[in-house]
Structure 1
């Protein structure tokens, strides 16, 4: 199982709305994440807008490809893109760059 951690930055003026949107993630989006291998998926948001994402998956590339092929993900990414800084024209999923794991205590 691969552990994946990534960082994004939420616009400070949109943080409250970002939190609110994640209180009620669409059921079909939750289902798509599970079906494509996004296990133990967790988002953490710092007071300065730093978003830390963590997930576990057997195959990171396959998990990302699986979500790219889902229509619900297209809709979700289109709605979420406006919340982030520095996407450079990419959707949030494309902007995710996993951090290098340097230690893990099992």
Structure 2
């Protein structure tokens, strides 16, 4: 992954919404997917711990990512509103995110 940045973080799903979370991501809006790619996200994975309902996200970013602007864009805010009922969110409906610093790489 030389030359690319890696970002990892954790979010929290509300109980009983595992299937709905998967469904909404299976149906991700094409304009949102394009926006994420255009911002420099090369790969984006989200994993679910089915015991704790913790969501672990991993993003591989390109050389000059522009992800800092995403939170101010209307489509991103619309997605947050769409997801707010099934996960823990902040007052603006953005997901509560806990950064996961890298401690090992092979």
Same fold (TM over 0.5): yes
- The unaligned stretches of length 5 or more in structure 2 are none
Let me know the Cα RMSD of the aligned residues: 1.7
Residues 59 and 77 of structure 1: CA distance in aligned 2, closer, same or farther (over 3 Å): farther
User: Match of 1:96?
Assistant: 97
Matching of residues 1-106 of structure 1 within 5 Å = 1-48=4-51, 49-57=53-61, 58=63, 62-63=66-67, 65-85=68-88, 87-90=89-92, 91-92=94-95, 95-105=96-106
SS of 2:26's equivalent? helix
In structure 1, the gaps of 5 or more residues are none
Q: 3-state SS of the aligned residue for 2:17?
A: helix
TM-score (norm: length of structure 2): 0.82
Task: Please say if residues 7 and 96 of structure 1, whose CA atoms lie closer than 8 Å, have aligned partners that are also in contact.
Answer: yes
1:66 is displaced (CA, Å) by 2.5
> How far did 1:69 drift?
3.3
Instruction: Judge conservation of contact 1:2–1:59 (CA < 8 Å) in 2.
Output: no
Q: Which runs of 4 or more aligned residues in structure 1 lie more than 4 Å from their structure 2 counterparts after TM superposition?
A: none
Is the alpha carbon distance of 1:13 and 1:4 closer, same or farther for their aligned partners in structure 2, counting shifts above 3 Å? same
1:88/1:73 Cα in 2 relative to 1: closer, same or farther (>3 Å)?
closer
